[in-house]
Structure 1
Amino acid sequence: MSEQIFQQQKELAKLIEHYSGQNGVHTTAVPSLFFMRQSNVNRPKYGVYKPSLCIVVQGEKEILLAQEGFRYGPADYLVASVDLPVTGQVIKASSDVPYLALKLEFTPSQILEVLRDSDIRVGPKENTKRAMYVSRIELSLLDAVIRLARLLENPKDIQVLAPLFTKEILYRVLQGQHGGTLEQIAIEGSSTYRIRDVIEHIINNYDKSFRIEELAEIANMSVSSLHRYFKEVTAMSPIQFQKQLRLQEARRLLLSESTDATDVAFQVGYESPSQFSREYSRMFGLPPREDIKRLRAKNDQKINA
């Protein structure tokens, strides 16, 4: 890592510390920019990554997409180009050197705008790739990111300059080694673009059963092509994708509401409570009641610490 990159990361770390203050995910005054701070290695966390750029300036993190791992630290950045259910875990952090990171969310229309306004050569429509990747950080990208973060010190400039700096950041990512993966989400008619429509449909209807033929129709693909391209993009089948969404939502409901596992199973679309319990245990390591009891006990410990 060059000395220039090291110095810029030090400045970025100070900004994240200043505007975070405590562990957790923090919104900022810059739209779609989030800061993360964690002073200890934590348990795996489950959630859906929106299309986003993630940069770590201290510590390390690992993301699991199905069974595929993506580990990254200060020398790298991670990109998710579509909505993806993932497991994330901070694997290097301490009270002296906390994990510090930022996330910038974006939309396909922002990617399309950059492609229209630049001379980036667009790849073939059938060039389907995994919708998540890790790449080496570059000085030009980090420079644009730090200028975006510095806007927090001059809030009056955010409305005018944040869109410009965000556009530059996306331009740098598109120019990077794996930029072709990102551009595919914005190219109408590409396989990734069509799979994105299927992903959106499953997310909006995760609690309903579907026929694979319906999804193939949405994507304007044959059933076999849908299966192949969906797995290339997301590392899982449509059914597995839906299952992860259902189980993540079930866990959220069980934590936030006074309701039992059977009611939640039906709410998220399961017809069999026993099947729900089996699949929940497989994903989270314990049956629903025991898992929630463990999580609540852990939260109580934090509150009383």
Structure 2
Amino acid sequence: MTDRNLVDLIKPLVSSEGFSDTLIANVRLMKCAKSLPRIPLIYSPGLTIIVQGRKIGYLGDREIHYNSGHYLVQTLPLPFECETFASEDEPLLGVSIDIDPVLLSELVSVSSENDLKLSVSHFPMSSVSMSDEMIESVSRLIKALYDPNTAKIMGPSRVREVVFEALQSSQGDALRALVLNQGRFSLIVNSLKQLHQQLDQEVRVEQLAEDANMSVSSFHHHFKNIAGSSPLQYLKRLRLLKAQMLLNRGHLNVSQISLEVGYKSIHQFSRDYKRYFGAPPTKDKLREDAVI
């Protein structure tokens, strides 16, 4: 359900399409005045709060609906696909907050809830309904953006309050698991971090499984449950999304980018890229619909 107060607060602060940086670190405002088709994306771990409009995320065989009155909790930088529904009359409006690991650690360490029970209902990407407390916290955060002095002095505490409320939600345990290093979730998180850090290197699933202290079959099973795809499928999508980002910056040519993201054959890279994005890398340009 749309909260008109939040809509009215954000509207004067956003004029351009896409993400807009704000006076508060790790906080960006969102605006999109048209519907966008299903496209590949990757978000940094964080909270995506929708106050008007709606989006559908597709991760593996899951559909994640985050409409007005909801927010997306994303604990891992997972490649996924996203569809946006908006118009000129009712643009999509929202707030994006990147999760600061230090802040998250501080909040979890002082929490009285030491008994983490991560169940199969907790995913690295899930939609959560806005509680009254979360609405109030987000409102105070947005209000701080109207005054530079308030943003500078009170901004960090307003962000802290929003993250605290997210920890009280149904996905709070998924956030805590990033800090407490418990169970299979934590082991797969470490494997995902390793893939991101070694994007240009050859990857052996057997080595990833060994590092996680699992059998290959067990590793595949837990990886797919969390990431929504097999390790090699995840790696391919990650490499192609990274390649698109590099292409959009315009500093490297296609051959250099293919090596940068771990492809030994530029021809294989071009085939995979065209299959995934619908256009060859030599033709692809920065698209307006790729920022939301």
TM-score, with structure 1 as normaliser: 0.84
User: Letter of the aligned partner of 1:95 in structure 2?
Assistant: E
Over the matched positions of the two proteins, sequence identity in percent amounts to 29
Aligned twin of 2:112:
119
Residue 42 (structure 1) shift: 2.3
Q: How many Å separate the matches in 2 of 1:29 and 1:288?
A: 35
Alpha-carbon spacing, 1:93–1:126, altered in 2? closer, same or farther (3 Å)? closer
SS of match in other structure, 2:36: coil
Higher helix share: 1
Aligned twin of 2:16:
22
Choose the corresponding residue for 1:236, options 221, 229, 253. Answer: 229
Aligned twin of 2:200:
207
Which range moved further: 70-79 or 106-115? Answer: 106-115
Instruction: Please say if 1:76 is aligned against 2:70.
Output: yes
Deviations 1:185-206 (A, max 9, x none): 2212332222222211111211
Q: How many Å separate the matches in 2 of 1:66 and 1:220?
A: 25
SS of match in other structure, 2:282: helix
Choose the corresponding residue for 1:285, options 278, 283, 291. Answer: 278
SS of match in other structure, 2:29: strand
Alpha-carbon spacing, 1:181–1:259, altered in 2? closer, same or farther (3 Å)? closer
How is 1:106-185 mapped onto 2 (pairs within 5 angstroms)?
A: 106-120=99-113, 122-124=115-117, 129-185=122-178
Choose the corresponding residue for 1:224, options 217, 220, 243. Answer: 217
Q: Is residue 125–residue 184 contact of structure 1 (8 Å, CA) maintained in 2?
A: yes
User: Letter of the aligned partner of 1:280 in structure 2?
Assistant: Y
Residue 67 (structure 1) shift: 4.3
Could you list the runs of 5+ residues in structure 2 that have no partner in the other structure?
A: none
Instruction: Please say if 1:186 is aligned against 2:202.
Output: no
Alpha-carbon spacing, 1:97–1:203, altered in 2? closer, same or farther (3 Å)? same
Could you list the runs of 5+ residues in structure 1 that have no partner in the other structure?
A: 300-305
Q: How many Å separate the matches in 2 of 1:94 and 1:128?
A: 33
Q: Which has the bigger relative contact order, CA under 8 A and spacing at least 6?
A: 2
What's the C-alpha RMSD, in Å, of the aligned pairs? 2.5
Q: How many Å separate the matches in 2 of 1:125 and 1:41?
A: 35
Which range moved further: 76-85 or 172-181? Answer: 172-181
Q: How many Å separate the matches in 2 of 1:124 and 1:226?
A: 20
